[in-house]
Every structure is written in structure tokens, then in C-alpha cells.
Amino acid sequence: MQKVIVTEKLPIKLWLDDIEPGALEQARNLANLPFLFQHVAVMPDAHQGYGMPIGGVMASDEVVIPNAVGVDIGCGMCAVRTSLTTISTEQLKQVLAEIRRKVPLGFEHHKKKQDARLMPKAEGLLEDLPVVAREYQAALTQLGSLGGGNHFIEIQKGDDHRIWLMVHSGSRNLGFKVANYYNHLAMTLNRQWGSRIPTAWQLAFLPLTGPEAQAYLREMRYCVDFAFANRKIMMEKVKDALLTVAAPVFFEPMINIAHNYAALEFHFGKHVLVHRKGATSASAGEIGIVPGSQGSPSYIVKGKGNPESFASCAHGAGRKMGRKQAQRQLDLGQEKKRLDDQGILHEIRSAKDLDEAAGAYKDIDKVVENQLDLVEVLVALHPLAVIKG
């Protein structure tokens, strides 16, 4: 932990010393909520989001805040260690081409609905999930698709001398629809109740004792499961693509970790609802993933269960530039050279791609260094080839 701020109603515990003003203001807002439990934890990759910093962790025993989970519910990482110890550039190119044939990228969906048996099972009746039920047929075309933004598929070489596969993706439009529906519902209800929490804070809430919060939590959990199913399907296609050029290959069990969700957990002697927005669980012994940018290492880590962070850690490098800012300010030639010099097959082609250039992200090694009280590093993974959404 780098710093503790004690000027607000409850403390803010920071695992970084360079937090941007907007993210700090959002953390201060959280620290002054009447239903905040214990303190706010801000991870080393934190930057400004909607309502709550991305890289923020908060808990409450009274309410759920949809904006403290975010719009890409269940977004997360999965990684698989393979039996391969080496792969050639030509093989990598063939694998990337095969993945692009199998996995829709960006705003693309499958042209046909996927097998409904691959969809998560609802806790009860599908009709008990009104937003999911409405979007279900559309979600069948999104299952097994990467999405845009910072989502990626990457082939990596570990310092354990093995080739690794990694996928970063979320719940696609399904999670977005659920998040927006319940955030707007919370805003409407908060106005009706005369909530004293300023609207400008973007932290509308739903009391856990009410049916609206329980409905949100059911739909949120479905989106978390959908995002996991989405990643699993893509990982199988990545494995199939690798097998077309490098058989035989053996694959170890998949590591999976989500970083946008709320979960009932036991902390500081009480059961509370922990909101992680751009943060992952790091319970004692739990294996997790902290990805870098497409020009920097990613890390397989083991949680230490530090109670001060609500047993959480960073979910990645974290942005240091907004998307438009990166496109304006970063030098295309320099960013391409940075990746080319490392021999990485990358996705930086034109100025519009600079929003996902390595220069738009924080130093992943500093992020990891700042959270060594939260996780132990097990394996460092160097990128070999990257597909972006």
C-alpha cells in the first residue's frame, strides 16, 4: 500500500502514488457514501471511470451500485499453459489467420445463432431475468466473439519456457444492456426517494432488501457466467487453431478470473457485498492473471488474501491516456517500432489503433511492484502475437 487518505468520512487506501485527479475525486465520493463499509481500496492500475474508478474496490452491507460494477459485467481473463516450448513466426501467422476465421472481432457477431446448450443456465426461470430474456436471442450470436476496445487474444512465451494462450473479453452487449437498465432504474428510484447522494457522482444505488437489487444481482450473475462461457468458447477455438499448425499439443486446465462484478463475501467480521470494478479477487492461494498491454508482459499471480484490499488486486496495466488523447499524442512510428523491435506480431496499423498502443498504458512492472503485498508473481509472459477486438 502506498498511501492512506483520511480526510473523508472513511479512509481511502491507495496502492499507487500517481492517481489522476478524476479518479481520486471518484474515490473521495465513494468514501463519503453513507453505506460504505470500512474503506475504499484503489488498485495500482486505477484510472477514472463512470461513478467509480476502474481499479476500485468497495463494499456495502446495504446496497448494490450498478456503476460500481460497470457496463461490461463479468469481463475478465483466461489463460492456458501449453506443452509447447517454442513456436515459429510463420506458425504464429498461421494461427492468427485461423483465429480470425473462427472468432468474430470488434463489433462483429456470428452470422448464425450458436448452440443454446453453450449458454449459462439461469438460477431460476429465464423469465425471472427480464433483460437477459429480452436479449437472449441476440446473445446467441455474440457467444464466442471477442468484442472491441481493450479485449484481446494473445499468444505468449512464459519465463517457465512454455507457450501460453490468453483471452480477455466480457459479456458483450448482454452485460451492457443489463448494466444500463439497472443503473437507469436506480437513478429513477433515487430521485423518487429524494436521495441525498449527488446525481453528478453517478453512484445511484439499489437497496439489497428490495426486489430491484435482487433482480439486478440475478441478471449480473448470469452475465458473469455468460462472459465466462464466451471466453471458454474462444479459448477452445484458439487451441484448435494452434493444433492446426503444431500438433500434438497438450493443454493444462484453464485459469479464469473476472474483474467486473459484485459478490457477497466475509470481510472484517461481516458479510458484505464487495464491488470490484477493474479489480480481481486475490484470496489466499487463488491463481489470477494481471495482463499488460500488447507490448509488455502479463503475469500469472497467486493471491495473498490481504484484508486491506478486500483480498483484491489490479486487473491489468490500466490506462494512462484516454483513447482520443492517445490517438492525438502518441507517435505511430515509435509505437510500431517498440513492438517490431520485440518481434511481436501486433495490431498497430494506423493512428486509429493508437488507443490500444503500449504507450497508452501504465508500466505493468510498476503496477505489479506496487501490489506485491497483494499477490505473488508465479510466471511472467512475454507477448509473441496479438489480436485486438
Helix, strand or coil, per DSSP, at residue 257: strand
Helix, strand or coil, per DSSP, at residue 274: strand
Measure the CA–CA gap between 389 and 376, rounded to whole angstroms: 30
- Virtual torsion, Cα 195, 196, 200, 202, nearest 10 deg: -50
- Virtual torsion, Cα 184, 186, 190, 196, nearest 10 deg: -100
In 10 A of CB 71, how many CB atoms?
A: 19
Strand ordering across the sheet containing 260-267: 3-5, 12-14, 40-47, 54-60, 270-277, 260-267
Measure the CA–CA gap between 321 and 358, rounded to whole angstroms: 10
Give how far Cα 155 sits from Cα of 22, 76, 86, 264, Å. Answer: 34, 17, 11, 34
Measure the CA–CA gap between 286 and 161, rounded to whole angstroms: 22
Nearest to 258 by CA among 332, 316, 189, 329: 316
Distance from chain centroid for Cα 186: 23
Measure the CA–CA gap between 290 and 288, rounded to whole angstroms: 7
Measure the CA–CA gap between 239 and 248, rounded to whole angstroms: 11
Cis before 248? omega within 30: yes
315 belongs to the catalytic site: yes
Measure the CA–CA gap between 27 and 30, rounded to whole angstroms: 5
Which three cell numbers, joined as nine digits, stand for 362?
501504465
Measure the CA–CA gap between 251 and 243, rounded to whole angstroms: 11
Check 47, 109, 259, 315 and give the catalytic one.
Answer: 315
Provide the annotated active-site residues: 315
